[in-house]
A and B are shown apart, each in its own frame.
Chain A
Amino acid sequence: MVISSLKETGEYRRMTDMTQPKMIRDATTANAVKTGEPVVAGNKTVGNVRCANPFMVAENINVYYGDNHAIKDVTLEFAKNQVIALIGPSGCGKSTFLRCLNRMNDSIDSARVTGTITLDGQDIYSKDLDPVALRARVGMVFQKPNPFPKSIYDNVAYGPRIHGLANDRAELDDIVHTSLERAGLLKEVKDRLDEPGTGLSGGQQQRLCIARTIAVNPEVILMDEPCSALDPIATARIEDLMDELSENYAIVIVTHSMQQAARVSRRVAYFHLGHLIEVDDTDKIFTNPQHKLTDDYVTGRIG
C-alpha cells in the first residue's frame, strides 16, 4: 500500500533507504507475497535462475557503493543465443548488475563486488584475467548513443584496431563492412564511411554503436536501455536487430519498457531494491508471475 501509493520511485527509494529494514518488513506485510514467502534479504529468488547450457554464471553477487548495498546476493545464469531482459523500477540495481558482467564497475573507486561470475567456466574477477580481454569478449551498448567523434569507419574499426584483429587494411575493411551490415546500417552509410559518426541520426548512431561492439566479435552483448533515447521507429529497428543478433550472441538487455522486454527477450529477470525477485520465461513473467512484487510491477501498480 505504501509502495503503490508512491508512484515516484525515486522518492520511494529514498524513503526505503533511510529505514530499510523496517520498510522492507512493512512492504512484506503490506504486499502479502503470493507464494507466501517474505521479501527479506537473503531469501531465494522465485522462478528459475538456472538455464540449460549456461554460458555465463553469476553466483551470489553483492555490490557495495561505499556503505550502500546496491546488489544483494543475486544469482543468475545466462545462456548462449538467448536474449534475457533485466527489468525493474529505477534504482533497483539492474544497470549495476549489468555493469558487473564486464567489470565496468572497476572504474568506480567506491564500488566493491563480491561473489563469482564465470564466463565459459572462467572466473572474470580472477586476478589473472585482464578486464581488457574480458571486455573484448563481453561487449556493451549504452543508453545514450555514444559514437566517438571520428568517422563512421574509424568508429567501427577502433575495436579491431586496438585488439589487432585485422592483419591488413583489406581485412579491416571487411570487418567494418560486415559489422555495419549485421547492424543493419551498411545500406544507409556505405557511401559516407569517412563522414563523422556523430552526424548520424539517434537511431543510426545507436546501430553504429552496435556495429562497433560486434566488430570486436564478442560472445556476450550487454545493452543498457539501448532504446530509451530513440523514437519508436528506431526502437523497432534495434529490436529486430537484437532478434537477429541473438542467433550468434548471448544478449543481456536492461529496459524500462515492459513491452520491449516482452517483444525481444526469451527470459526476464525482475529486480527490486537490489534483490533479484523473480526470473522466468518471458511469457510466464508477463502472464503468470509468481511473486506479488513482480505482479505489481508488470501490471503497472508500481514502478
Chain B
Amino acid sequence: MQSGIQSSRARVEAGLGRRRRREIIFRVFGLAATMVGVFFLVAFFSTLIAKGSSAFVQTFLQLEVEYSEEALAPGGELDLEFADFDGIARAALRKKFSEVTTRNDRRELNRLISVGAGYQIRDAVISNPNLLGTTGMLEVPASANVDMLLKGNIDRDVPESQRPLSDQQIEWIDQLIADGSLVSKFNKALFVNGDSREPELAGIRGALMGSFYMLLITIALAFPIGAAAAIYLEEFAPKNRWADLIEVNINNLAAVPSIVFGLLGLAVFINWIGIPRSAPLVGGLVLSLLTLPVIIIAARAAIKAVPPSIREAAFGLGASKMQVVFHHVLPLAMPGMLTGAIIGMSRALGESAPLLMIGMVAFIVDVPASITDPATALPVQIYLWADSPERAFAERTSAAIIVLLGFLLLMNLAAVILRKKVERRW
C-alpha cells in the first residue's frame, strides 16, 4: 500500500512540468490572440478618425456681397425665376481680383465658389427682402477643391495637368488665404443637408432620418412580435415535433444572408402589397423580419434562464400560468430580452444589403419627412459616397462611418443603461 502511494506521487510529480508548460502555452496564445484583436481595432479606429475627422470642418469664403437690384429684381421686384444669385456671389469674388478680365479666367475664378453660394444668397434674400440694394459680408462655402487644397489633400507639387486646380487658381487661393478671406469652420452642412453631387454641400441628414424611421418601425414591430413569440414558444406551446421544427427554422432564419430578406421585401412588400419603393416603411418591414429571429432567440434564452424555483413558488401559491409569466418570468427575463432587442437593432442599423434590393440606394437629395418618402440609410449612404470619384467624398465617407459607429455606440450604451435600470438588484 505504501509503495502504491509513493508511485502515485512520483507519477503526479512527473506530470506536473508538462501540465504547467501546457498552461503557459495556452496563456501565451490567448494573450497573442487578444493583442491581434486590439491591434486591428486600434488600427481601424485611428485610420478612420485620421481620414474622417477633417470632414467635420469646411472652408468658407468671406465675401462682401452687394445685393444689387439690377441682378435680383430686374423687373423692379424680387423675381426668383430670373434673379441671378450665382452672379452676385461671383461678382463679389471678382471684386477681389480686379486683374481678372478674360472669359476663361473668370470661369476659373468662379469655380472657387461652391454652387451652394447662390442658394445661400437666395435664402438670405427670401428671408429678409430688405437686403435688396444693400451690401453685406457673407460667408459662403468654397468649392470642394479649395477645401481639399487647404486640407492638404491636393498636392501642389504634381504637374498642373494632373491636379484639379490650375496654377492660376492656386495663386488666387493663396491670395485669399493671405487676406484672410478663407476661413475653416464647423461643417454644419454635413449634418443638416441631404445628399448632393457637390461634396461641400452633401450631408447625411437624409440618410440619418431614413435610418431613424426604419429603426422606429423595426423596434415597434420586431420587439413586441419577437417577445410574444418567445413567450409563447417557451411557456405555452406544447413541446412536440412541431415546436422542434419551428425552433430549428427560427435558428436557420437568423443565419439567412440579409440580402435574401431584401429580395423577400421586394417581392412581397413592393410588388405584391404595393408599398412605394425606397420608402423607410419597406426598409423597416424588411429589417423587422431580419431582426425577429435574433430577438426571439435572445428572448427565449432570457426566459429559459429564469430559475425554475421562482416559477414553482408562484405555481405553488396558486398563480395561473399567465400570472406566473407576467408577474415573475418576464420581469426577470426583461433585461436579457431588451439586450437582445438592442443587439438586433444594432444589426439592423448597420445593414445595407437588403436595402439595396428595395431601392433605398437611389440618389435622394430631399430629407424624408415621413415613412413613405423616398430615403436612404446611413450604411447605404456610406456605400454611395465610397463609390463617388470626388476626392472630397472620401473624407465624408469616413465621417459618415464615424457617425454610424457613434450611433451604434450610443445604442449599446442605451442597452447597458436600460439593463442596469430594469435589472432587479437582488
In the complex, the answer to whether A109 meets B239 with C-beta atoms within 8 Å is yes
**Which A residues are in CB contact (< 8 Å) with B426?**
149, 196, 198-199
In the bound assembly, the distance between CA atoms of A146 and B316 in angstroms comes to: 11
Counting CB contacts under 8 A, is B314 at the interface?
A: yes
In the complex, the answer to whether B316 meets A213 with C-beta atoms within 8 Å is yes
Decide yes or no: A142 and B313 within 8 Å by CB, A109-B239, A149-B424, A198-B426 being known contacts: yes
Within 8 A of B (CB), among A132-166: 132-136, 139-142, 144, 146-149, 158-159, 162-163
Residue B317 contacts which of A107, A109, A149, A213 (CB distance < 8 angstroms)? A213
In the complex, the answer to whether A142 meets B314 with C-beta atoms within 8 Å is no
**Which A residues are in CB contact (< 8 Å) with B316?**
102, 104, 135, 139-142, 213
Counting CB contacts under 8 A, is A216 at the interface?
A: yes
Decide yes or no: A109 and B318 within 8 Å by CB, A199-B426, A209-B313 being known contacts: no
Scan B85-101; emit 1 where CB is below 8 A from any A CB, else 0.
00000000000000000
In the complex, the answer to whether B309 meets A146 with C-beta atoms within 8 Å is yes
**Which B residues are in CB contact (< 8 Å) with A199?**
426
In the bound assembly, the distance between CA atoms of A222 and B27 in angstroms comes to: 52
Residue A142 contacts which of B309, B327, B328, B332 (CB distance < 8 angstroms)? B309
In the bound assembly, the distance between CA atoms of A94 and B316 in angstroms comes to: 17
Counting CB contacts under 8 A, is B32 at the interface?
A: no
In the bound assembly, the distance between CA atoms of A22 and B405 in angstroms comes to: 70
**Which B residues are in CB contact (< 8 Å) with A163?**
318
Residue B318 contacts which of A144, A148, A159 (CB distance < 8 angstroms)? A159
Question: Can you add 5 more A-B contacts, CB < 8 Å, to A134-B318, A136-B318, A162-B319?
Answer: A104-B312, A142-B312, A148-B328, A149-B332, A213-B316
* Chain A interface mostly: helix
Within 8 A of B (CB), among A24-66: none
* Chain B interface mostly: helix
In the bound assembly, the distance between CA atoms of A172 and B26 in angstroms comes to: 60
Counting CB contacts under 8 A, is A207 at the interface?
A: no
**Which A residues are in CB contact (< 8 Å) with B309?**
142, 144, 146
Within 8 A of B (CB), among A212-268: 212-213, 216
Counting CB contacts under 8 A, is B186 at the interface?
A: no
In the bound assembly, the distance between CA atoms of A140 and B316 in angstroms comes to: 5
**Which A residues are in CB contact (< 8 Å) with B220?**
none
Nearest CB in chain A: distance from B308 CB, A: 9
Within 8 A of A (CB), among B309-334: 309-310, 312-320, 323, 327-328, 331-332
Q: Interface size bucket, B side?
A: 20 to 34
- How many A-B pairs fall under 8 Å by CB? 67
In the complex, the answer to whether A148 meets B239 with C-beta atoms within 8 Å is no
**Which A residues are in CB contact (< 8 Å) with B332?**
149
In the complex, the answer to whether B312 meets A159 with C-beta atoms within 8 Å is no
Decide yes or no: A159 and B317 within 8 Å by CB, A142-B309, A142-B312, A149-B332 being known contacts: yes
Nearest CB in chain A: distance from B191 CB, A: 44
Counting CB contacts under 8 A, is B238 at the interface?
A: yes
In the bound assembly, the distance between CA atoms of A107 and B329 in angstroms comes to: 15
In the bound assembly, the distance between CA atoms of A40 and B55 in angstroms comes to: 88
Report 23 cross-chain contacts, Cβ distance below 8 Å, ordered by A residue.
Answer: A104-B315, A104-B316, A132-B319, A135-B316, A136-B318, A139-B316, A144-B309, A146-B307, A146-B313, A147-B313, A148-B313, A149-B331, A158-B317, A158-B319, A158-B327, A159-B317, A162-B318, A162-B320, A162-B323, A162-B327, A198-B426, A199-B426, A213-B317
- Which of B309, B312, B425 has the largest number of chain A CB atoms within 10 A? B312
Chain A residue at minimum C-beta to C-beta distance from B238: A109
Nearest CB in chain B: distance from A259 CB, A: 26
In the complex, the answer to whether A148 meets B314 with C-beta atoms within 8 Å is yes
In the bound assembly, the distance between CA atoms of A210 and B249 in angstroms comes to: 44
Chain B residue at minimum C-beta to C-beta distance from A159: B317
In the bound assembly, the distance between CA atoms of A147 and B307 in angstroms comes to: 11
Chain B residue at minimum C-beta to C-beta distance from A141: B316
Nearest CB in chain B: distance from A292 CB, A: 36
Nearest CB in chain B: distance from A142 CB, A: 6
In the complex, the answer to whether A139 meets B315 with C-beta atoms within 8 Å is no
In the bound assembly, the distance between CA atoms of A104 and B315 in angstroms comes to: 8
**Which B residues are in CB contact (< 8 Å) with A158?**
314, 317, 319, 327
- Which of B239, B315, B328 has the largest number of chain A CB atoms within 10 A? B315
Within 8 A of B (CB), among A113-130: none
Nearest CB in chain B: distance from A223 CB, A: 11
In the bound assembly, the distance between CA atoms of A148 and B424 in angstroms comes to: 11
Within 8 A of A (CB), among B266-321: 307, 309-310, 312-320
Chain A residue at minimum C-beta to C-beta distance from B240: A109
In the complex, the answer to whether A146 meets B317 with C-beta atoms within 8 Å is no
In the complex, the answer to whether B312 meets A162 with C-beta atoms within 8 Å is no
In the complex, the answer to whether A107 meets B314 with C-beta atoms within 8 Å is no
Scan B402-426; emit 1 where CB is below 8 A from any A CB, else 0.
0000000000000000000000111
Chain B residue at minimum C-beta to C-beta distance from A109: B239
Scan A56-98; emit 1 where CB is below 8 A from any B CB, else 0.
0000000000000000000000000000000000000000000
